[in-house]
Amino acid sequence: MSSLVDERTIELIEVFRQQFGAAPNFISRGAGRVNLIGEHTDYNDGFVLPVALKRDVRVALRPRQDRRVTVHSVEFGENGAFDLDAVRFDPDRLWLNYIQGMAQSLEQEGIQLVGIDAVVSGNVPRGSGLSSSAALEIASAHAFLIAAGKTGVLSGPRIAQLAQRAENKFVGVNCGIMDQFISELGRANHALLIDCRSLDYTLVPMPEDVALVIGNTRASRSLASSAYNERRAECEQGVALLQPLLPAITALRDVSSTQLEQHRDLLPENVYRRCRHVVSENERVLQCVDALQRGALEEVGRLMNASHDSLRDDYLVSSAALDAMVATMRSVEGCYGARLTGAGFGGCAVALVRIGCEQAVADAIFEQYPKATSIWPEVYVTKAADGAGAEAL
């Protein structure tokens, strides 16, 4: 039995039969992700350390003889369609734009696509900071490529770049490269160290005796987009103010903590604190990789805790809900460390947990978090999973 054929895929095949009257030929997958450490570093040319999740977006598909794309979304319960020669933003079906943008991006790369009939379904929670949009883009990329007989024509990093371009240029979301990169290139039982400047990447083995517990605060993220743009501007301001004395720098990636402290009087207090988070976070990512390779899990946990505290105190992107979630996770024996993951203001927190303690952390979340916030959370337990793929059925 092929690797992507499980109970979810079998259900998806049945939905495809109901929608299109025959069986699909292929299945593709794009993974959700959680970032272990390295938050708000990607747009500063820095380092990130995400893992791919078992939660994913899947596309069951059948090639067509024409250039028409017809898609049924299981979660949205609606159909969408477009012509590959007339791709236009659809204000009524926002989910379809990720698929359209991916098709356009592939064709701009010189890949001649064919039309498809497709059913798409995902179990990555939307709006939670686990990158459901990147998972949809990457699953769509592999669906189009396998339908056109173009599997293997593009490298994994290039597929990720084209997916980012689709989201930036077609959907209109100014995201970094991390989400698409890990969705495409993640591997089971490994984190992925990504250099967001060079796009060099290194698989980092995860110790066998740990799991990840993800707590979804289910709190509103209404401030996330405006604050994101504000933080980017503050980081750019910091670089501009530091460059006269540090002419070699082009991004905060190039600034050390020592240099920042030497020149902090050049920066307004708010800009200094944003810069301090990014500079120290880049250092924490590399320290975390070293600690994982040594199996120093207490050290990994300490770095994760320090990351959250920096995001809360210097970058000001945490929230009462996230702080409550993180405090609950940290209170449980067997939790090495916990931090918010994603842009902040809501979404999810992630904890590194000793195997056997996952349920205790989940139980604590369900008991303590609602009392602190009056919100019922969701909890997902996972190990690092494989990223994207596609195969014949």
Phi, psi at 151, each rounded to 5°: -60, 135
CA atoms of 113 and 120, how far apart (whole Å): 18
Residue 317: count of CB within 10 angstroms of its CB: 23
Structure confidence at residue 224 (pLDDT) = 64
In CATH, what is the architecture of 7-205+387-392? Answer: 2-Layer Sandwich (3.30)
Cα separations in angstroms, 324 against 91, 128, 183: 36, 16, 28
pLDDT in tens, 381-393: 999 999 999 999 9
Whether pLDDT at 276 is above 70: yes
Active site residue 179: yes
Average pLDDT on 342-366 reads: 94
Cα separations in angstroms, 172 against 91, 120, 164, 165, 167: 12, 22, 10, 9, 6
Active-site hit among 42, 179, 314, 323: 179
Place 1 in a pLDDT band, splitting at 50, 70 and 90: very low
Structure confidence at residue 203 (pLDDT) = 97
pLDDT in tens, 62-72: 999 999 999 99
Which of 31, 40, 49, 39 minimizes the C-alpha distance to 339?
39
Task: Give, in degrees to the nearest 5, the angle at Cα 173 between 140 and 234.
Answer: 145
Higher-pLDDT residue of 50 and 129 is 50
**For 298-367, what is the HEC assignment?**
HHHHHHHHHHHHHHHHCCCCCCHHHHHHHHHHHCCCCEEEEEEECCCCCCEEEEEEECCCHHHHHHHHHH
Collapsed DSSP state (helix, strand, coil) of residue 156: helix
Which long-range contacts does 368-375 make (Cβ < 8 Å, 24+ apart)? 368/324, 368/328, 368/331, 369/215, 369/217, 369/324, 369/325, 369/328, 372/320, 372/324, 372/328, 373/217, 373/219, 373/320, 373/321, 373/324, 375/217, 375/218, 375/219, 375/321
CA atoms of 329 and 184, how far apart (whole Å): 29
Q: What is the pTM of this model?
A: 0.92
Residues 373/3, Cβ–Cβ less than 8 Å: no
Structure confidence at residue 6 (pLDDT) = 87
pLDDT in tens, 147-177: 999 999 999 999 999 999 999 999 988 778 8
pLDDT in tens, 189-246: 999 999 999 999 999 999 999 999 999 999 876 666 678 889 999 999 999 999 999 9
CA atoms of 365 and 383, how far apart (whole Å): 19
Mode of pairing for the β-strands spanning 68-73 and 116-122: parallel
Q: Does domain 210-382 have CATH number 2.30.40.10?
A: no
Whether pLDDT at 128 is above 90: no
Place 2 in a pLDDT band, splitting at 50, 70 and 90: very low
Radius of gyration (C-alpha) of the chain in whole angstroms: 21
Structure confidence at residue 225 (pLDDT) = 67
CA atoms of 165 and 294, how far apart (whole Å): 37
Q: Which two tokens stand for residue 375?
A: 């919100």
Structure confidence at residue 220 (pLDDT) = 74
Structure confidence at residue 123 (pLDDT) = 87
Residues 335/363, Cβ–Cβ less than 8 Å: no
pLDDT in tens, 243-265: 999 999 999 999 999 999 999 99
Residue 94: count of CB within 10 angstroms of its CB: 12
Whether pLDDT at 119 is above 90: yes
Higher-pLDDT residue of 226 and 373 is 373
Start-end of CATH 3.30.230.10 domains in the chain? 7-205+387-392
Average pLDDT on 103-129 reads: 91
Start-end of CATH 3.30.70.890 domains in the chain? 210-382
